[in-house]
Amino acid sequence: MALIKTDDEIAKMREGGALLSKALQSAVDMAKPGVTMRELDAEAERVIRAGGGVPSFKGYGGADPFPSTLCISKNDEIVHGIGERDIVLEEGDIVGLDIGLWLHNLATDMAVTVPIGNISKERKALLRTTRDSLYAGLEVIKPGAFISDIGTAVESAVDTKKYGIIEALVGHGVGHAVHEYPHIPNYKTKQFPKVKIKKGMCLAIEPTVTTGSKEIATDEDGWTIVTEDGSDASHFEVTVAVTEAGYEILTPLPEVKI
């Protein structure tokens, strides 16, 4: 599994990323009060398969594989919520939509957290903070910088007296597999190996931020990760390719009004 992707592989990932963004945008457009998680999941899978892709999350794992195309996580659910649940979205909810696909035997990955109808100003602030921290992390990506610089930049964009950054969840390399080396923390730390960023790396950057503690728990379904204190959570993610000058977003985020 090569850490560096060729120009041809990045071109194919760019195509996959465009299809993934299209599928996620379609789910975002449907995400309104009264719609079920299962309906969003079916729509995202329809768009992926119509474009020649294969959902990368569905069937992921060992003896108990993940059952849906989308990870759908509501309010205090951080990530990995099962998308085929018949849970109805309600006015005021915030919902994380995380999605991945295979196209041309290459994987891309992305996520967005969306408001369902009108949401509180506190939830709007959480979503904006998480989204801004993602872009802050992206801005330091260039050949010669270090993976740890990304986490430092993400943390600098978050008021940690007001919000929690989930430390147990990290970004990752992506392309030849859904999850590749290196791990990409979303906070300042020296606990991970020092990895220099190089042209041709493809990275999934994905901060997860809460309105409370950074501590997490796993729901009884074995997949859904929630905040231990019941506080709200938000998650944004893009796949990028490292270029000579900096980076290219391969999975443009959907249009979301926050």
> Binding site for a divalent metal cation, residues?
98, 109, 172, 206, 237
Note the Cα 59 to chain centre separation in Å: 18
Q: Exposed (0-12), middle (13-18) or buried (19+): which is 101, by Cβ within 10 Å? A: buried
Residues facing 110 on adjacent strands: 99
- Between CA 16 and CA 229 the distance in angstroms is 37
Question: What are the binding residues?
Answer: 80, 98, 109, 172, 179, 206, 237
Q: Which of left, alpha, beta for 187 (phi over 0: left; psi -120 to 50: alpha)?
A: beta
Angle at 172 between CA 256 and CA 8, to 5 degrees: 85
- Between CA 206 and CA 111 the distance in angstroms is 8
- Between CA 169 and CA 78 the distance in angstroms is 10
Helix (H) or strand (E) holding 20, with range, is: helix 7-30
Tokens of 25: 């945008």
238-242 vs 202-205, strand pairing mode: antiparallel
Residue found under tokens 């490292």: 242
Question: What are the binding residues for substrate?
Answer: 80, 179
